[in-house]
Structure 1
Amino acid sequence: MGKMFLTRTAAVLAGLVLILQVLDLLSESGKITSVAGNGDAEVWRYIGLRAPQIISTFLPFSALLGTIITLSTLNANSEVIALKASGLSAHQVLAPLIVTALGIAAVSFAFNDRIVSRATATLSQWKNVDYGPLPIDRGDRSNVWVLSGDDLIQADKVKGRGDAAILGGVMIYDREGGVLRSIVSAARGKRDGKGWLIGPAQRFDVAGGKVTMLGNIHVADGVRPDQFTLSNVDPDGLSFGALRAAINDLRDAGRPTKSLEGSLWHKISGPLSAVLMPLLGAVAAFGLARSGKLFIRAVIGMGLGFTYFIADNFALAMGNLGAYPPLLAAWSPFLLFLLIGEAVLIRTEE
């Protein structure tokens, strides 16, 4: 049963990837080849970067369809009836598929972490330059905000990384208890010990309306260079470990991380959704095939599975908007449909 499930899932996945890759290439190949110097090699490069994304997205769908095809075939041949007649419960009948799905989930997580994240990051950079030559990322950032205690620090430009980072257009908003007291501005800044040396600086006193020239001054002790070099974080383009480290750095910089935390947990719950598919598609395994309702049962299983994917995307979107806590956004659809699948199975078969 496990082998049947695995081969049918792989066959469905291969078909989906082939069809969707061709459709996607029809819309993108013209954009790729319209760039001077691009040819067949760049088209194949796009396929190599896009195919892992399609595989990652549709692997759970394939597991659902593989489950329904496997169980419908067994039911149609009365093999499920024979298994239950031998004393096996419905959960024992599904056990080989669930164990196989656990293996699929583990492979999916590793594939997403090692391959899909890198392909997504590279493809995003390539799309940003309209499929032209990829620029070298020298670590330059723009319009970066950092929280230092109650004070806000804004840099128009950040060049370089680590202790070699150079700030341009520095603005420090001096606040006490959330009330703005003064604004310190400087043309440039560089690393100085545990803080930053900025200058030539001037202070604008909000209450008095006076401007004071300060020259070169030392500010922002405890603010690390990586807090400036982290600007926009794309969770899809980072591995689980890299995203967790980025979230910690952003949290230390005083920036909101709730949406990224939801994406972090979804890197686990997403691949694990393959384990739900045998449970949600189990309705196709039971019932008498000669009753003429096998097709209806298969449609019900597909409906349960696709409803899960809709709920999962909805919860993740609510998490990105801040309406759901990160754990709720990532795990609530999984737990909800686990209970629904169990309830349907116990109510109808156990």
Structure 2
Amino acid sequence: MRILTRYILGEILSHALIGCALFTFILFMPRLPQILEMVVRNSSSFSSAFEVFLFLLPNLFWVTIPMSVLVGILLGLSRLAADSEIIAMRASGLGIGYFVRVASIVAVAGALLGTVNSLWVAPRANQAILEMQQSLAASQASYQIQPRVFYEDFHDKVLYVQDVRSGTGAANWKQIFMADVSDPAAPKITTAESATVVNDSSLELLMRLRNGEQHEGVPGHPDQYNVSTFDTTDLPLTLSPQGDVHLGRMDTAVYAIPTRTLLQRIHQPDNKRFLIELNNRFAYPAACLVLMLVGVPLGVMSRRGGKSSGFVFTLLLVIIYYVLSYTGVALARQDKLPPTLAVWLANIIFTIAGSFLLWQMATGGGVIAAIAGLTARTPKSRGSGIATVLHDNGSHLTHLLERRPRSVRKAYRGAFPRILDAYVMREFLTMFLMVLCGFVMLMLVFTFFELVGDIIRNHIALTTVGLYLVNLTPSMLYTIAPLAVLIAVLVTFGVLNRNSEIVAMKATGISLYRLVIPILVIAGTLAISLFAFDEFYLPQANRRQEQLRSTIKGRPPQTFLHPEQKWIFGQPRAGERGRIFYYQFFDHDAAEFANLSIFEFDPMTFALSRRIFAGRVYWDRSAGSWVFQNGWVREFQGANQKDFREFKDTTFGEIHEEPGYFSKESLQSQEMNFGQLDRYIRDLRQSGFDTMRLRVALWHKLAYPLVAVVMAMLAIPFALSMGRRGSLTGIAVAIGVALTYWMVMGLFEAMGNVNYLPAPLAAWSSDVLFGLTGGYLLLKTPT
């Protein structure tokens, strides 16, 4: 192999590998919290989580291998074109065909890897995911009960515990209320003063109840009612198996069918989905070849744009290709195009376009010249780099300083920002904005890919899709900003170090700690801005994008209410008995209950003192009270029934909870700012709802913006330790650091969500851990 060929291949391959890792990381990030939640919540080890990660990779490689081939060709050739190396090669007699032959080596390798992945690896990985989903649906880790929360996760049981005290091998509960809802119309109630609980198995808790009562009625016969007491009794609690466990992208098992079986099924009468899947398994690997045909001429002609124009071309071509691909598949599913033609539509169009561009490049056509003109940018008038900056401004700055008194000159030297600060800040912000915009664009593209089928199937207007993407962008900016800080710091300081500019700064007496001040100032400003952004704008944008997504998915408008939450703790007042409400339906607009039961009990022992049932209960606005119809009331004194009466129409003035108390909105944490979420949590906790996940999200709103500062502190020592290896190494290190951080952050938050860690500790642990690591490495770096 010629030296020149190896040189070009090295450029293309290095960019392709980094691109593959970067695209895979972006696609994997949304799935990471789900995997970590599985590790914490289920009886799964970290090896099982690693298996899930490996099983998901083949599905991601379907998309990322063609993209990495394209980005490798475009960025590699663009870098050579920007340094005029392409001009030198062509002047030595190498035509466009030579670059096609070299790039085709990478394209063919990518196509072969993609074919092996789609035909053999991915189906087996998908089958393994399906089997793992089935095993997860039948398994559950030991459950940790929180006090003052209603739990409906048990088989035909609802549990409420007033106080929980953990112990070695067992837990001690105080004041227990349990309803057996095998017959929802007549729940059997058990109360107890205390209980000792042990895990009998992964799916069962064994309770030993003490000093309790059991209440049981007969449906349709309110006069028949039994009350029994006990000193001790043992009751098992069986956890319901998890139902909706989804680890992969699969909506159907067709993705897990072996290719040999798929070839047999395409001859069946109803074979459309099998034919689409079979063609997909060949079309996506072939995309490496057709994208190469377009990427070579665009990369060769990017003389002035360099890597930036190559990056823009990559985003543009990826958007066009996958929009055409997903649109074709959607049209095939609706019988508007033959499956084979629809799946290969994007490849056919790109093959024609690539052949045309290559012909224009070989013949010097005007189309290539016009495209090249679009990528041109005005060259810098005086070069770049710290030496140029000092050279350009040196004489003018010296003249100004000499005209000032010495005291003024000393003050100026200590000012912030100085010329050097402005230079570092400009380089950092340029890279930060480019990375942030690029990542957000990629995430928007992938989101659009997922929705193309729904858009066509539900006939959604493009204006609606555009509004959805516009309202989704703020959330993506908030999520990606810390990662963009990490990459921007690594690349900026890596380039400064490679160009010996940091050595020059140190030689002039500038400490490393003084050099990083502008970066930390920007990171701190960004952290404050992210918190303000989340406080004042992001929640309303998230609410809007959730509504638009429901429209695109063809779902009815959501009310964001909990129609299924039938148990709620009453609003307590001093000196009153405790009160639990159970209902089968509540119309919040009409303020009306159907089949409402009220259980009143002694707060000290949890023994029932009164039970009320009514077939219909409505709110009388004029009287300001509830009207109970067609029901009965029964009062108890210990295990004895003190009184019983039936009624047609009555009121209970002591029941003071108003209709708004029962309309508990089920809002997402990202749809509220810090103050709103804090008030929402207090309201739900008082009513007996599980708020642990929301409390973690509340502290996360404070902790997450500071990730920008943590990433900056962590990136600086890594960047300085890379030596002269450049920006590609910086991006590779950034991917590793970011993946590690997001895994640790997701793991701590998952532990907090299931009450294994306090909410503040779950939200702040990753910031503290990585912040201390970054600070230590920064202090150990030679200044």
Q: Normalised by the size of structure 2, how large is the TM-score?
A: 0.40
Is residue 152–residue 174 contact of structure 1 (8 Å, CA) maintained in 2? yes
Is residue 561–residue 665 contact of structure 2 (8 Å, CA) maintained in 1? no
After TM superposition, list the pairs within 5 Å mapping 1:179-258 onto structure 2: 179-186=607-614, 187-190=616-619, 196-203=626-633, 207=639, 212-214=645-647, 215-218=649-652, 221-258=655-692
RMSD: 3.1
Is residue 196–residue 220 contact of structure 1 (8 Å, CA) maintained in 2? no
Partner of 1:198, secondary structure, is strand
Q: What is the CA deviation profile of residues 149-203 of structure 1, one whole-angstrom value per residue up to 9, with x for unaligned ones?
A: 4321133333347xx7433432212233233455322222326778644333323
Report whether the alignment pairs 1:279 with 2:709.
Answer: no
Tell me how far apart the structure 2 counterparts of residues 212 and 278 of structure 1 sit (CA, whole Å): 71
Q: What is the CA deviation profile of residues 217-261 of structure 1, one whole-angstrom value per residue up to 9, with x for unaligned ones?
A: 326645354431114231122222221221122233243323212
Tell me how far apart the structure 2 counterparts of residues 158 and 312 of structure 1 sit (CA, whole Å): 39
The answer to which of 165-174 and 259-268 deviates more is 165-174
**Paired letter, 2:706:** L
**Which residue of the partner structure matches residue 9 of structure 1?**
432
Partner of 2:720, secondary structure, is coil
Structure 1 residues 19 and 40, CA, compared in 2 at 3 Å: closer, same or farther? Answer: same
Tell me how far apart the structure 1 counterparts of residues 761 and 494 of structure 2 sit (CA, whole Å): 34
Q: What is the CA deviation profile of residues 17-41 of structure 1, one whole-angstrom value per residue up to 9, with x for unaligned ones?
A: 11121122111121133114x2222
Is residue 139–residue 159 contact of structure 1 (8 Å, CA) maintained in 2? no
Partner of 1:143, secondary structure, is coil
Tell me how far apart the structure 2 counterparts of residues 321 and 142 of structure 1 sit (CA, whole Å): 21
Tell me how far apart the structure 1 counterparts of residues 631 and 746 of structure 2 sit (CA, whole Å): 48
> Structure 1, unaligned stretches of length 5 or more?
none
Tell me how far apart the structure 2 counterparts of residues 15 and 30 of structure 1 sit (CA, whole Å): 24
**Paired letter, 1:267:** K
Structure 1 residues 167 and 311, CA, compared in 2 at 3 Å: closer, same or farther? Answer: same
Measure how far apart 1:120 and its partner are: 2.4
Measure how far apart 1:99 and its partner are: 0.6
Q: 1:40 aligns with which of 462, 466, 469?
A: 462
Q: 1:84 aligns with which of 491, 502, 506?
A: 506
**Which residue of the partner structure matches residue 22 of structure 1?**
445
Partner of 2:617, secondary structure, is strand
Q: What is the CA deviation profile of residues 54-95 of structure 1, one whole-angstrom value per residue up to 9, with x for unaligned ones?
A: 222211111111111111111112222233333444332211
The answer to which of 201-210 and 242-251 deviates more is 201-210
Q: 2:697 aligns with which of 218, 240, 263?
A: 263
Structure 1 residues 137 and 83, CA, compared in 2 at 3 Å: closer, same or farther? Answer: same
> Structure 2, unaligned stretches of length 5 or more?
1-423, 573-577
The answer to which of 85-94 and 244-253 deviates more is 85-94
Tell me how far apart the structure 1 counterparts of residues 557 and 680 of structure 2 sit (CA, whole Å): 23
**Paired letter, 1:262:** V
Report whether the alignment pairs 1:52 with 2:474.
Answer: yes
Q: 2:592 aligns with which of 156, 163, 166?
A: 166
Partner of 1:289, secondary structure, is coil
Is residue 78–residue 289 contact of structure 1 (8 Å, CA) maintained in 2? no
Is residue 700–residue 764 contact of structure 2 (8 Å, CA) maintained in 1? yes
Is residue 159–residue 165 contact of structure 1 (8 Å, CA) maintained in 2? yes
Report whether the alignment pairs 1:303 with 2:736.
Answer: yes
After TM superposition, list the pairs within 5 Å mapping 1:115-130 onto structure 2: 115-128=537-550
Task: Among all aligned residue pairs of Structure 1 and Structure 2, give the percentage whose two residues are the same amino acid.
Answer: 26
Tell me how far apart the structure 1 counterparts of residues 557 and 609 of structure 2 sit (CA, whole Å): 41
Larger RCO (CA within 8 A; separation ≥ 6): 1
Report whether the alignment pairs 1:68 with 2:496.
Answer: no
Measure how far apart 1:45 and its partner are: 2.4
Partner of 2:597, secondary structure, is strand
Tell me how far apart the structure 1 counterparts of residues 612 and 475 of structure 2 sit (CA, whole Å): 46
Structure 1 residues 252 and 321, CA, compared in 2 at 3 Å: closer, same or farther? Answer: same
Please identify the structure whose Cα radius of gyration is greater. 2
Is residue 539–residue 670 contact of structure 2 (8 Å, CA) maintained in 1? yes
**Which residue of the partner structure matches residue 335 of structure 1?**
768
**Which residue of the partner structure matches residue 522 of structure 2?**
100
The answer to which of 321-330 and 172-181 deviates more is 172-181
Q: Normalised by the size of structure 1, how large is the TM-score?
A: 0.85
Tell me how far apart the structure 2 counterparts of residues 110 and 3 of structure 1 sit (CA, whole Å): 24
The answer to which of 334-343 and 209-218 deviates more is 209-218
Structure 1 residues 251 and 6, CA, compared in 2 at 3 Å: closer, same or farther? Answer: same
Is residue 633–residue 645 contact of structure 2 (8 Å, CA) maintained in 1? yes
Count of matched residue positions in the alignment of Structure 1 and Structure 2: 346
Is residue 113–residue 239 contact of structure 1 (8 Å, CA) maintained in 2? yes
